[in-house]
Amino acid sequence: MREERFSIETTIVNILIIILISVGVIFSTVTALGLVRLPDVYTRTHAASKSSTLGVMCILGGTFIHFLFIEDHFNPQLVIAIAFLFITSPVAGHLIGRASYMSGIPLAEETVRDDMKIAVEKKKGEQK
């Protein structure tokens, strides 16, 4: 095992792992930066629910490849974690956005147009 450490294959796999984990870390950083810089709840949800998903996914993928090829250990929990992340994070983003809209949190000043306002008001008018 020791002498195979420096074969071509290991080098390629290592490069892949380094790229994946670096991309993951960069996207996580962008998420944090977005949370600080963006103006309102909705645009922050954009940053939090997606760039972080891709970042965490890349890190998990890199870890999976490392254990599979370097340590010769297939770890199914990592695959399941990636799948669950895919399923749950859009729902979380949607619910945060919807809950904040329904409780009347205003959009940012830069907002160009708002179609949902018309629909919500129309529905409220029907209920009365």
Partner 1 sequence: MALQILLNFFLAGVWMFMTNAFTPTGFAVGFIVGLLLIVLMRRFFSYRLYTSRIWAVISLFFLFLKELVLSSFSVFKLVVQPRLNIRPAVFELETELTHDWEVTLLSALITLTPGTLVIGISEDQKRLYIHAIDFDDIEDAVSSIKNTFERAILEVSRP
Which chain residues interact with partner 1 by CB under 8 A? Answer: 26-27, 30, 33-34, 37-40, 42-43, 45-47, 49-51, 53-54, 86-87, 89-91, 93-94, 97-98, 101, 107-108, 110-117, 119-120, 123
Q: How far is the CB of 16 from partner 1 (least distance, A)?
A: 15
- Helices 8-37 and 52-65, packing angle to 10 deg: 160
**CA dihedral sign, ordered 51, 59, 28, 101:** positive
Q: How far is the CB of 79 from partner 1 (least distance, A)?
A: 14
Q: Residues with Cβ < 8 Å from 23, sequence gap 6 or more?
A: 55, 58
User: Which C-beta is closer to partner 1: that of 70 or that of 120?
Assistant: 120
